Amino acid sequence: MNVVVVGAGVYGAAVAAALTKRGASVTVVDAAAPGSGTSGATFSWTNSCGKQPREYHDLNVAGMEAHRKMAGDWYHETGNLEWVAGDTERLRQRVAGLHHYGYEAHWLSRSEALRLEPDVDPSVLPDDEIVFFPREGWIEPTRMIARLLATATEVVRDDAVTSLDTSAGRVRSVHLASGRRIVVDAVVNCAGPQANEIAELAGLSFPMRNKPGVLVYTSPVAVSVSRVVHAPHVHVRPDGGGRLLLHGKDDDDPANVLAAACEVYPGIRAATVESVRVGKRPIPLDGKPVLGRVLELPNFHFAVSHSAATLCVHVGDLVAAEVLGEDRSDELAPFRFERL
């Protein structure tokens, strides 16, 4: 079977790897370089911490487990440490709901939290009501994409999809800006924030409410940051080479985001902003993923959502199975295109 995967981010790479493993001939096409879109500008936190409704939570838990089983060198199950400023009632309610789902979360005191992250300024931590999610973590998206795309039959970069030939309820071929035409048995739309544009080429209306995400990368710092940390005004995680990745409010100045991180980790006060990246989060209209085949065009498939860093390995396997004829409705029914 000849399959074209549109988009060379984490979803595209994971779908391509799963298809190749099952024996398909896979061509991955991207309008730019692999990993240069949303996947290259993401906090890439793996979690199911507050994902609703229940079926979305369960899908993310399965996504975390799939990363764990694959055990790629891009996956870091470090845990996530979180606390809030002021009233903790909403945090308490969220943790209680997660406990009800069987999701692992532990309440820590200040001293227990400092044993995990000793370079945090003790004065910013509450006495207690700090929560630790030990099974959460983060991925290195570009490393993951490179590893998984290496299995694809072909990767076409810097060549946008310009049209799709459809007839008799099927996609017949994919046309690229270079003039190339690829005859297909199936197409998988992994185009992230441009997924609606690819859907339109297939005659489908795919409503999305994408939103920007701003990430700040620091210069190398001699500070121990071992985990994902969600402080009240900034999110922090390691990013290799001594650098930190910071996320604050998306409309905040990068200097303010760095200043907020310095309040949490005083040892990084000599750090500078090395780079800033703005990614566009792909979010279907109702916030839930759109996954799997399209009823009216059964060889056209979606793998589009927020939370792709968490979901990609598991969803890639589900979508690939369906592309090759397996019925995965038990897992994918709540996430079908038709609900929109």
Q: Give pLDDT tens digits for 242-278.
A: 999 999 987 889 999 999 999 999 999 999 999 999 9
pLDDT above 90: residue 45: yes
The answer to whether 167 touches 299, Cβ cutoff 8 Å, is: no
Residue 298 has pLDDT above 90, yes or no: yes
Q: Using CA atoms, how far apart are residues 226 and 31, in angstroms rounded to an integer?
A: 35
In the prediction, which pLDDT does 282 show?
97
Q: What is the mean pLDDT of the chain?
A: 97
Across the beta sheet with 235-238, what order do the strands follow?
A: 106-108, 130-133, 80-82, 228-230, 235-238, 244-247, 211-218, 273-281
How far from 147 is each of 76, 120, 259, CA to CA, in Å? Answer: 16, 34, 35
| 191, 15 Cβ separation under 8 angstroms | no
CATH 3.40.50.2300 fits 80-134+212-281, yes or no: no
pLDDT at 249: 85
Per-residue confidence (pLDDT) for residue 163, from 0 to 100? 98
Residue type, 331: E
Please give the DSSP secondary-structure letter assigned to residue 265. -
User: Taking a C-beta distance cutoff of 8 angstroms, is the pair 313, 63 a contact?
Assistant: yes
Alpha carbon of 127 to those of 104, 130, 133, 282: distances in Å? 21, 8, 18, 38
Domain segments of the chain as ranges: 2-43+142-209+284-339, 80-134+212-281
Residue 296 near residue 239, CB atoms below 8 Å:
no
What is the per-residue pLDDT for 10?
Answer: 98
How high is the pLDDT of residue 251? 80
DSSP structure class, residue 220: P
Tell which CATH classification among 3.50.50.60, 3.40.50.1970, 3.10.50.40, 3.40.50.1240 matches the domain 2-43+142-209+284-339.
3.50.50.60
pLDDT at residue 312, as a whole number: 98
Q: What pLDDT sits at residue 73?
A: 96
Tokens representing residue 18 in the block: 């799963």
What is the model's pLDDT at position 250?
79
Q: What is the CA radius of gyration of the chain?
A: 21
Q: Give the chain's end-to-end CA distance (angstroms, integer).
A: 29
**Residues for the chain: how many in total?**
340
Q: What is the mean pLDDT of residues 44-51?
A: 96
